[in-house]
Structure 1
Amino acid sequence: MFKISNFITAFLIVFCTVNSCSAQQNIDKGSLFIIGGGSRSVDMVMRIATESGIDKGGYAVILPMSSEEPDTSVFYAKKQFTELGYKNVYGLQFEKGEKPNQAKTDSIRNARLVYISGGDQSRFMDVVTGTDIEKAIHDAYANGSMVAGTSAGAAVMSKVMITGNELKHPDYSSTFRNIEADNIETATGLGMLTTAIIDQHFVKRSRHNRLLSAVIEYPDMLSIGIDESTAILVKNGMAEVVGESQVLVFSNPKKSKVEKNGRLGARGLQLDIYLPGDTFEIK
């Protein structure tokens, strides 16, 4: 519907070359802003802008490869920033199998904010896995930038990524009907978080069974359910809840797993429910 102009890509290339964008970045590791989907309030968008630093300079890139309509996805994601006066936000689309030149990947690498839109997390990873695009996202984070994502863009943050599919019940449902062994399908995500699994739209879509399955099947990891219009800001090993609703964190400190007739059980699971403003540790 809305075409991403080639002018945008050209502008980013020239901007980075002339202004030496990499010199603007902090040397410390960056931050993550992981949104559970749904609407994003003005306060949340402003928090992204100020925490990433695009309110002071540099620029943001939106990566819409999760979406079936990437141009439209860029349009609406960008609109939220531009309506608040942030004009330095651009879309950058890549196709599966594309071998982008260094100038395009540098546009990601040197951005203060890399924002991954919603859609289908598997579609996004199908485009970026093992490519210079994926490496550029990690380089941006390592240089001190923020990597943000909503919905599918949240799911890709985990190394162990929930695809949303059930292995035993392939007909789509927004939530799991059962807590069963060998049912939750995972794939490899971006790995911005290696010690936690992210689920999204969590309270609104009652995805408790899915994340309970995950915390039993992957007992060494936190399983984090982020509700709509809610996010976690992750930096320096801590997560802060931002937004309107709750974040649920399941853990399995006893590494417990019991299986009978395909059903999963466990002992000593822990659940913490965090509200906006609360913080918790992510090692």
Structure 2
Amino acid sequence: MALSCDDKKKTDEIFQDIEATTASKNLNEGKLFIIGGGKRPPELVQKLIDVSDLKESNYIVILPMASAEPDSAVYYAAQQFTELGIEKDRIKGFNFEKNRQNVEQLDSLSKAGLIYISGGDQNRFMEVVLNSPIADAIKSAYRNGATIAGTSAGAAVMSKKMITGDEFKHTEYTGDFRTIESENIELKEGLGLLENAIVDQHFIQRMRMNRLISTAIENPEEISIGIDESTAILVEGDSVEVLGVSQVIVLKNKDENKTVKNGLLGTRGLDLSVILPGEKFSLINK
């Protein structure tokens, strides 16, 4: 059912209550589990379940709005969770629509122990979620200690500055980012759960280094993170651990060095790290 005026008032009251109960808490009590897309090995999903530390009363909410086939996205995500021992009645799938949200589902979302955002198109997801009660509910759950997970498009939306996948200067999408040019990589507003970093996904498999280099040069205040397929980062506060089967690339433009010549981007002193599974790095950009 859609939100009526009374429902909107009720929704506002829900989040006012949440704000009141979390006022004295660290705003980042939850964890982020950001997967670079591709296959999700059972070991990686098991790690997600483990770090979520789900209590008996906790449940999982799957958000499939990025997917062109949301029912399938919910089905396959739920299947992985049930195969690893999560009871079916502890898994909910909410396919929210823009300007049309169920107040009971919003309440359930805000109280989830684990929220999982599917792959697909990050622009499609944010078109529904941006500046909505859905975003408020996700952020409230995160503040209250929930784990927020996402894969592929669900990884991209974690950032405050979100890579859309599009280019300004090469509008015909090919999946290849063959240049390092100024004012080319399109960024839009994401969920902002990861405020001081920009996430790219399918990173090594799809050879997206040029895109991330461009992003790092033009956004020096952010850490640029490229997560490969079947690989994840676990974010707890400022600490990040790499999990899964491949590497994570981290770029820091700490000197804010940027030059532009004939539309080409240049920089010196760009800090590059290749982080292996089991290793950690910091989100502090200095």
CA contact (8 A) 2:28 2:237 kept: no
Query: Among 89, 99, 105, which residue is 2:91 paired with?
Result: 89
CA distance in 2, matches of 1:201, 1:232: 13
State the partner residue of 1:66. 66
Code of the residue aligned with 2:214 in structure 1: it is S
Match of 2:9 in 1: none
The equivalences for 1:259-270 within 5 A come to 259-270=260-271
Give distance in 2, aligned partners of 1:209 and 1:111. 37
Q: How far apart are 1:236 and its partner, in Å?
A: 2.5
Letter in 2 for 1:248: I
| Correspondence for 1:43 | 43
> 1:37 touches 1:201 (CA, 8 Å); kept in 2?
yes
Counterpart AA for 1:90:
K
Contact 1:175–1:209, Cα closer than 8 Å, also in 2: no
1:150-189, aligned counterparts within 5 Å?
150-189=151-190
Say if 1:264 and 1:201 are closer, same or farther in 2 by CA, change over 3 A. same
Contact 1:233–1:242 at 8 Å: present in 2 too? yes
Deviation, 1:175, is: 2.8
Alignment of 1:5-20 (within 5 A): none
2: CA distance, partners of 1:137 / 1:197: 19
> Cα gap change, 1:55/1:144 in structure 2, threshold over 3 Å: closer, same or farther?
closer
Partner AA of 1:89 in structure 2: I
The 2-side partners of 1:242 and 1:217 are apart by: 28
1:206-221 aligned within 5 A? 206-221=207-222
Say how many residue pairs are matched.
Answer: 259
CA distance 1:123–1:267, shift in 2 (3 Å): same
Instruction: Tell me which residue corresponds to 1:145.
Output: 146
Conserved in 2, the CA contact under 8 Å of 1:165 and 1:184? yes
CA displacement at 1:48 relative to structure 2: 0.9
The equivalent of 1:98 in structure 2 is: 100
1:122 and 1:272 map into 2 onto residues whose CA distance is 28
- State the SS of the aligned residue for 2:72: helix
SS in 2 for 1:186: strand
Alignment partners' CA distance in 2, 1:49 and 1:56: 13
Q: CA offsets per residue over residues 125-150 of structure 1, 9 Å max, x none? A: 00011111000000000000000000
CA–CA distance in structure 1, aligned partners of residues 32 and 100 of structure 2:
26
Query: Given that residues 30 and 143 in structure 1 are in contact (C-alpha distance below 8 angstroms), is that contact kept between their aligned partners in structure 2?
Result: yes
Residue 245 of structure 2 corresponds to 244
Q: CA-to-partner distance for each residue in 1:164-211, whole Å, 9 max, x for gaps?
A: 001100111223110000100010000001100000000000000000
Find the counterpart in structure 2 of residue 128 from structure 1. Answer: 129
Alignment of structure 1 residues 26-41 onto 2, 5 Å: 29-41=29-41
Offset at 1:100?
Answer: 2.9
The DSSP-based 3-state class of the residue aligned with 1:105 is: helix
RMSD, matched Cα: 1.6
CA contact 1:66–1:153 (8 Å) conserved in 2: yes
Q: Is the 8 A contact 2:64 2:74 kept in 1?
A: yes
Q: 1:255 corresponds to which letter in structure 2?
A: E
Q: Deviations over 1:97-131 (max 9, x none)?
A: 21432x21111110000000000001000001111
C-alpha distance after superposition, 1:203-237 (max 9, x if no partner): 00000000000001101110000000000000031
* TM-score w.r.t. length of structure 1: 0.89
Moved more, 27-36 or 240-249: 27-36
Q: Which residue of 1 aligns with 2:77?
A: 77
Distance 1:220-1:28 versus aligned 2 partners, 3 A rule: closer
SS in 2 for 1:264: strand
User: TM-score, normalization: structure 2?
Assistant: 0.88
**CA-CA distance at 1:56 after TM superposition:** 4.6
Q: Which runs of 4+ in 1 moved over 3 A?
A: none
**CA–CA separation in structure 1 for the residues paired with 2:248 and 2:220:** 19
Residue matched to 1:280: 281
Give unpaired runs (5+ residues) of structure 1: 1-21
Cα deviation for residue 55 of structure 1 reads 6.4
Residue 200 of structure 1 aligns with an amino acid whose one-letter code is: Q
* 2:18 paired residue number: none
